[in-house]
Structure 1
């Protein structure tokens, strides 16, 4: 079995292992670490879950999503989707809805505006992705914190070292004003994204350039 076939089998098994995913017919192809997924799922949040499952498979360097969301029989019209999206944001205590604008078109929800933290951006997307009838979410929220904390490299290095997933990995941190650049080598796409997630927890960051290289050993 060659490397592409081996990675394809690993991804297929990872999806099969999740009980709530097994009902979805997902096609999987792999080529030099790039995994392409195709098929149709019942809900948009299931599509997101599938993507996260595949990213954790060792050897995956990138994921191409060609997965569509079924037209749901109970899907609301666009005005109702917009109202539900607004309510979802208002019910989430960590999201500042007054700084977020919502646009709905053809079942897609577009988030526009700014928040102080990356976790708020992610929480906003997750909140609206659960609405029945949503076919996709475009998260264009910007990170623009008013905090003036100095970004300290040592704090980021210590955070990486505390992570059982990243401990021992070669990750270098570059800081320029409110921007952070990550370089070095990790073993998987999941580790690359975990490094970025941890870095976003530092106060005052507006942008992260994740240049970590994935080398599967």
Structure 2
């Protein structure tokens, strides 16, 4: 694209991202600045919570034409939202204990300067991401360091084929654009898709295999 064409495309992407932020109920779009250069979106400003910061990035990634999101949003202070590290740790342990997705006492929690560190071992990746979703909604959390690992998985000779079959079944994915390789229990995805939604959906399909312990998502996003 020429410089003029690129600038016009970036302007359209900026408008679409701004509209998507306004459409996201978890985000106060008035607090979020949006700039775009060559498809790279930068979000700036102050938001009320870690959840809002994450959801703003997710909203931007849903937009066609976005290749990368740089999340420079910071979390503003406020007496109604601030908690001590001890209070945050107690709240995190409470929501984890009440989660139907997790066995009891498999996740350990530490909190330092509003940063929650999660450790432990779970069976499935969805359990690992479920914990993070629960924690990011808590007041006072500014960042999550998710160090939870997965239990060892036995490898299988048909892992790549079964994941490819899952991609074919997915109505929103062009399975022909994605290659799947498996070495032991580690899966690598390559290829090119047009949106981050497709890239993330492909990773979820790979994580659904009972023989997957790691997913290396090397799929390129090219609108």
Query: What does residue 66 of structure 1 align with?
Result: 72
- Select 1:17's aligned residue among 20, 23, 28: 23
SS state at 1:119 partner: helix
- In the alignment, which residue of structure 2 is the partner of 1:6? 12
Q: 1:190 aligns with which of 182, 191, 197?
A: 197
* C-alpha distance in 2 between matches for 1:158 and 1:25: 43
Measured after TM superposition, the shift of residue 168 of structure 1 is 4.7
- 2:32–2:43 contact (8 Å) kept in structure 1: yes
Q: TM-score, normalised by structure 1?
A: 0.92
Measure, in 2, the Cα distance between the counterparts of 1:141 and 1:29.
34
C-alpha spacing 1:114/1:60, structure 2 compared with 1 (3 Å): same
Deviation at 1:76, TM superposition (A): 2.2
Q: Root-mean-square deviation (CA), in Å?
A: 1.7
CA distance in structure 1 between the partners assigned to 2:25 and 2:184 by the alignment: 45
The aligned residue for residue 53 of structure 1 is: 59
> Per-residue deviation at 1:154?
2.1
Mapping for residues 114-153 of structure 1, pairs under 5 Å: 114-145=121-152, 147-148=153-154, 150=156, 152-153=159-160
How far the C-alpha of 1:170 sits from its partner, in A, is: 0.8
Equivalent-residue separation in structure 1 for 2:161 and 2:21 (angstroms): 38
Aligned twin of 2:119: 112
DSSP-derived class of the 2:162 partner: helix
Matches within 5 A, 1:95-106: 95-106=102-113
Q: Given that residues 85 and 128 in structure 1 are in contact (C-alpha distance below 8 angstroms), is that contact kept between their aligned partners in structure 2?
A: yes
Structure 2 counterpart SS, 1:98? coil
Structure 1 regions of 5+ residues with no counterpart? none
What is the Cα deviation at residue 169 of structure 1? 4.5
- 1:170-192 Cα deviation digits (max 9, x unpaired): 11110100100101111112211
Post-superposition Cα deviations, 1:150-206, rounded to whole Å, max 9, x if no partner, equal: 252221111111112214551111010010010111111221111111110111211
In 2, the alpha carbon distance for the partners of 1:169 and 1:81 equals 45
- Matches of 1:49 and 1:80, distance apart in 2: 24
